[in-house]
Every structure is written in C-alpha cells, then in structure tokens.
Structure 1
Amino acid sequence: MKITARIAALAMVAALSGCATSQNPNDPLEGFNRAMFSFNDTVDKVALKPAAQAYQFVLPNFVQTGIGNFFGNIGDLWSAVNQILQGRVETGVTSFMRVAVNTTFGLGGVLDVSTEARLPKQKSDFGQTLGKWGVGSGPYVVLPLLGPSTIRDTAALPADFYGDLWTYKKPVRWRNVGSVVRVIDKRAQLLDASNLLEDAALDKYDFVRDTYLQSRQSQIDGTKDEQRGKEEVVKP
C-alpha cells in the first residue's frame, strides 16, 4: 500500500509542478513521461521480459492458463463491485456469478468454467468507475514500474489495491511470491504484442500513450452506452 500511495503522490506532484510542456493537450507532462517510459522500458528489458520468457519456456501452457485464470478469478470480484457502483447491475451480478462458479467448480478459479457456461468476463476498475461518475481523466502520466495511467486512474490506485483480495493473503511471504508470479504471468501474456511493437517502425512512446488513452475512453464510453441502452429499454 505504501508503494502504491507513493506512486500516486509522485504522479500528482509531477502534474502540479508542470515540469514539462508538450504540444499534445492530453500529454502536458511529456518530458517527464518520456523519461519514466525509458526507465520502465529498461527495467522491462533487463528483468521483466527475460523473466516472462523463462516463465513461458519452463511452464506448460495449461499451467500458465491455470495461473492466469486463478488471478483473473480474484480480479473478477473487484470488477463486480465496480460494475455495481457504475450502475451496471446485470453485468456486476454476472461477474459475481463468475467468481462463484469458478471458485466452486473450477478448482478455486484455476479452471474458467464460467466462460464455457456463457458468463462473459468483463474487467472493471475504480478509475473506470470514477470516469463513469463524470470525473475527468486529467493529464496522461507514466508511473514508475506501473506504466501508462492518467491522474484520475492514479488517484484510483489505492482503492484498486484495497479491492484486490490478494492484498489480504496470509502469510505475507506467500502473498509476495504470488504477486511476483502474477506480474510475470501478465508480462508473459504480452510477449507477442511487445515483440511486434519492437519490430514496428514507429515512436513506441506515442503508440503506447495513444493506445492507452483510446482504450480507457472506449471502456468508459462503453459503460455509459450500456447503461443508456438499458434505460431506453425500460422506458414505457
């Protein structure tokens, strides 16, 4: 929690200090962000990517899938809470059902039984909830180790931290081991995409920034459109 709070504070200080200027209105902190992006990229090349490649090489595919499913099942519970907070009650109930079904019949979430049962997975976080409530995204910011974000999404990090059930796992040593495995598993899932990005002749910083901002806006617009459509259906 202390690390998350410090990262959030760093983003806020960078935004308020106006330590860099940019021609892009969505990225007034471009100078700071590019430096942080370069730092994160170096850490990824030196540590995360090699670890993810070793993880992918050593573990059979079904084990990797099981690990991803397990942590995804934990994440579904916080997604359900956020969907309820966003007014997407039906989607939230579906996410709660996913957790119940996968935990009960999927060996604690290792098997994704819910998808086969036509209970689709939809991820949500508190930053998305704030966006649904009308909170503006604020400037784009690159966080140390965590990567692309916005001021709104950074402010939401403590809530996401407390909403993650793995935060409360005991003993602490198993929580820490699981957290490391979780990060490496997520990085392994992105290996193919990152390799394509490395080969492409483009400004990687610009590509990641624009893709992130478009994706986040699409997620928030999607929640609004979904709710608007349901309201129209119930009108007499």
Structure 2
Amino acid sequence: MHNVTRPFPWLHRLVALALVAMLAACASGPNANPRDPLEPFNRGMTDVNDAVDSAVLKPVATVYRDITPDPVRTGVNNFFQNLGDVWSFINATLQLRPREAAENFLRFNVNTVFGVAGLFDVASDMGLERTRLDFGQTLGRWGVPSGPYLVLPLFGPSSIRDAAGFSIESRGDLVQGLSDIPMRNSLYVLRAVETRANLLRATNLLEGAALDKYSFTRDLYLQRRESQIEDLKDKGIGLKDDAE
C-alpha cells in the first residue's frame, strides 16, 4: 500500500545509495581524483544514464520540443518553476535570507492566484525576482562539506551532500502530494521531459566540445556548486537564475 501512494519510492533511497557508493571508494585506485574517489562507480552510472538518455529521454524530449508550441512550453516551464519557488522559500528561510524568502513566497502566491496556477509568470512582470535555492545549498551554507562527487541514477551529477538534500526535497515535492495517481505520474513524466528538452542545446554543445565528457561534467558541476556555496557564505546573497 505504501508503494501505491509513492510511485517512485526509490527516489527516497538515494541517500542510502550514496552511502553504499562511499563504501565502494575503498576499491578506488591510489591515483583517484581526491574529489572523485568513487570514479569507477560514477563512470559506470554515467554510462547507464547515457544509455537511457540516448534510448528514451533525448528522443522524447526532441519530439516534445519540436511539436509543442512555444507558448505551451513556456506555460509548462512556468508551472514547474512556480512549484520550485516553494522550496526556494523554505531554503531561503533556513538560510536566514529574509529578502529571498519574502520574494519567493510572494512569487508563489501571486503566480498561483493571478497566473492561473503558475502557468503565467505574473510575478516577474511585477519585479519579483526568482531565487533558486535547494537544500544541498542550505546544508553547504551551514558548513556541511560536499563529500565525494556522486552520479545519481537518471539525475546525473551530484555529491553526497547534494544527494542528501535532493532526497529530503523529494519527500516534500508538491507533485507527490497529489492523490490522483494518473495525474501525478503524468506530471512526473512531463516535468522530466520538459527539463530534458531545456538541456538539449547544452548537451549537444557538450558532446561536441569535451574530449572526456565525464571529467568535463564533473569538474564543471563541482566548480559551479563550490562557487554557489561561497556566494552564500561570503556575499550573503541568493542565487539568481542567471547565475546558474
């Protein structure tokens, strides 16, 4: 019965997976990258993710991008971004960022009420900026180290800290709270396809530019996250969309 109400229970076991992967680090060679002691595991998981992406996600996302009118895609993206504003509000509050917390709280309410459940981004037109904050950043803000680099099933680049944050946020996902299971699963799929469609151009550029796509992606992810955490600690500011 528990698995019926939670159609993807494995999402909540990502932390357990991370801990298992940490134990695998002892099998890594002496020349392992100190930030990536789990490299054999991570490269294997990357190969699995790439295979799934090539066979399913990328083709579906390409068709979705090509046949879906831009206004519809904008509305879909706005809807899911609006749901994300709830967690940004929570994380801004936990990080003691009153301005970002207030802006994201107002954004969610304005767009939900006046933007037809978030399909229209009325809040941005009013000058309310979106600040993207996740629980991994919150943990980093209060000094929790990132831990080893970790590639998650389907979700890709992460770290032990960020995987823990993702697991916590997945439990509070507003889509998961829907009681209509077919609708909930449809929204899961739509969100995954929309997210992948937004990454098509970046993926094509990466595949054409990187000699070792794995190392390039790992280093880019770790540098970006480190920069974000340092911004939170040193500058006392939130992370705007254009900083991503």
Does TM, scored on the shorter chain, surpass 0.5? yes
Which moves more between the two structures, 200-209 or 172-181?
200-209
Task: Give the distance between the partners of 1:198 and 1:17, measured in 2 at CA.
Answer: 29
Letter in 2 for 1:56: R
Task: Give the distance between the partners of 2:18 and 2:167, measured in 1 at CA.
Answer: 13
Q: Which among 122, 129, 137 is matched to residue 120 of structure 1?
A: 129
| Aligned length, in residue pairs | 229
Task: Give the distance between the partners of 1:46 and 1:25, measured in 2 at CA.
Answer: 33
Fraction of identical pairs, as percent: 49
1:78-93 equivalences in 2 (<5 Å)? 78-93=87-102
2:5 — aligned with what?
A: none
Q: Which among 136, 142, 145 is matched to residue 133 of structure 1?
A: 142
The yes-or-no answer on 1:96 pairing with 2:90 is no
Letter in 2 for 1:17: A
Unmatched segments (≥5 aa) in structure 2: 1-7, 238-244
2:68 — aligned with what?
A: 59
Letter in 1 for 2:233: K
Deviation at 1:154, TM superposition (A): 1.2
The yes-or-no answer on 1:15 pairing with 2:22 is yes
TM-score, structure 2 normalization: 0.90
Unmatched segments (≥5 aa) in structure 1: 229-236
Task: Note if contact 1:20-1:32 (Cα within 8 Å) is conserved in structure 2.
Answer: no
Task: Note if contact 1:68-1:185 (Cα within 8 Å) is conserved in structure 2.
Answer: yes
Task: Note if contact 1:102-1:112 (Cα within 8 Å) is conserved in structure 2.
Answer: yes
Deviation at 1:44, TM superposition (A): 0.5
Task: Give the distance between the partners of 2:230 and 2:168, measured in 1 at CA.
Answer: 21
1:74 — aligned with what?
A: 83
Deviations 1:199-227 (A, max 9, x none): 11421001111111111112211222343
Letter in 2 for 1:15: M
1:41 is paired with a residue whose SS is helix
Task: Note if contact 1:73-1:102 (Cα within 8 Å) is conserved in structure 2.
Answer: yes
Task: Note if contact 1:87-1:227 (Cα within 8 Å) is conserved in structure 2.
Answer: no
TM-score, structure 1 normalization: 0.92
Deviations 1:46-94 (A, max 9, x none): 1000010010111101101100000100010111000100111111110
Q: Alignment RMSD, CA only?
A: 1.6
